[in-house]
Amino acid sequence: MLNEQPFKLALVGSKALGEEANGWSIQLQKALADAYGETLDVKIFQYEEQSDQFITSGHGKEVAEFQPDIVLFEPFTLNDNGTVTLEDSHENIHTFISTVQKEKEEAVVILQPPHPIHNATFYPSEVEALEKFAKDNNLPFLNHWAKWPAVENEELRSYLLEDQSAPNDKGHEVWFTYLNEYFIADA
């Protein structure tokens, strides 16, 4: 442990985290606790809003007050789809990172997209833009989409809630497995 304090990981994002339904965030929190015990403190920050509302509501400060060493951030890309411009969405990511790093300068923010949705028109290009944004800003980007069926594939619907607003159990399992392999070396 660093200075006898546990290493802190914040899982931040939309209802796609599945906090209330044994989603990937709950599964990852448990797997990390099993793997690392008291040396790691994992906290879930789930919000049902767009990125601009997340910023103006002060939720970034809530995360920052936790003083995480690492933040795994799903930056509300699907929630922003069609309502918040790509530029504003990316500016909100910058604002969030600045807020976190004011509290803990060495905090690392890792970006990841929300879940894919079937037959989306603009959303996949917004996720590509998010990945480019991460690369341009030297931010790690975890693209779990490679583990899901393609957005054109009808099978993708079997991984999502009927309204496609979040993954179902099957989708959470795919997302969790990807992150578990990333965070736990022997997974």
Confidence of residue 4 (pLDDT cuts 50, 70, 90): confident
70-73/108-111 β-pairing? parallel
Fill in the amino acid letter for 146.
Answer: A
pLDDT at 2 over 70: no
Fill in the amino acid letter for 27.
Answer: Q
In the structure encoding, which two tokens stand for residue 92, read together?
Answer: 């909100």
Q: CA angle, corner 76, sides to 52 and 67, nearest 5?
A: 80
Distance of CA 47 to the CA centre of its chain: 11
Confidence of residue 5 (pLDDT cuts 50, 70, 90): confident
pLDDT at 3 over 90: no
In the structure encoding, which two tokens stand for residue 182, read together?
Answer: 């990333």
In the structure encoding, which two tokens stand for residue 44, read together?
Answer: 């879930």
pLDDT at 80 over 70: yes
* DSSP designation for 149: P
The verdict on pTM exceeding 0.85 is yes
Q: What percentage of the chain has pLDDT greater than the value 90?
A: 94
In the chain the first and final C-alpha atoms are separated, in Å, by 22
